[in-house]
Amino acid sequence: MTPKQLAANRRNARKSTGPRTAAGRAVSRMNAVKHGILSTEVVVRGLHAKESQREFTALHQRFRDELQPAGPVEEMLVDQIVTARWRMRRAMRAESGEIALDIERHEMHHNAGMNSYRNWLSWLASGNAVLAMQDSWEGVCTLERWLLEVREAVERDGELTEAATRIPLHGEPNAMTTQLEKLRQRLRENPEGLDEPILRERNRREVVVYLDREIERYHRLNIEYYDRERWREKTRQDTSMLPALPVLEKIMRYETKLERQMYRAMAQLERVQRIRRGEAVPAPLSVAVTERCE
Per residue in 91-128, pLDDT (tens digit) is 888 888 777 777 666 665 555 445 566 777 777 777 78
Q: With CA atoms as reference, report the closest residue to 179 among 164, 196, 190, 157.
A: 164
Of 21-25, 115-119, 254-258, minimum mean pLDDT range: 21-25
User: What pLDDT score was predicted for residue 293?
Assistant: 59
Average pLDDT score over the chain: 79
Domain boundaries, the chain: 29-112+244-276, 116-239
Q: Is 119:138 a contact under the CB 8 Å cutoff? A: yes
Per residue in 267-290, pLDDT (tens digit) is 999 989 888 888 888 877 665 556
Q: With CA atoms as reference, report the closest residue to 87 among 256, 248, 273.
A: 256
Distance between CA atoms of residues 111 and 109, nearest Å: 6
Per residue in 41-78, pLDDT (tens digit) is 788 887 767 888 889 889 999 999 999 999 899 999 99
pLDDT level of residue 152 (50, 70, 90 thresholds): very high
Residue 219 has a CB neighbour count (10 Å cut-off) of 15
pLDDT top residue among 209 and 134: 209
Is residue 49 classed exposed, middle or buried when 0-12, 13-18 and 19+ CB atoms within 10 A define those classes? exposed
- Integer CA distances (angstroms), 24 to 21, 72, 74, 120, in order: 5, 20, 22, 74
Per residue in 191-246, pLDDT (tens digit) is 888 888 888 898 999 999 999 999 999 999 888 888 887 777 776 666 666 667 78
User: What pLDDT score was predicted for residue 24?
Assistant: 56
User: What pLDDT score was predicted for residue 260?
Assistant: 92
User: What pLDDT score was predicted for residue 171?
Assistant: 59
Q: With CA atoms as reference, report the closest residue to 95 among 288, 286, 248, 253.
A: 248
Which of 25-29, 152-156, 285-289 is most confident?
152-156
User: What pLDDT score was predicted for residue 133?
Assistant: 85
Distance between CA atoms of residues 42 and 88, nearest Å: 12
Per residue in 3-17, pLDDT (tens digit) is 777 677 667 666 655
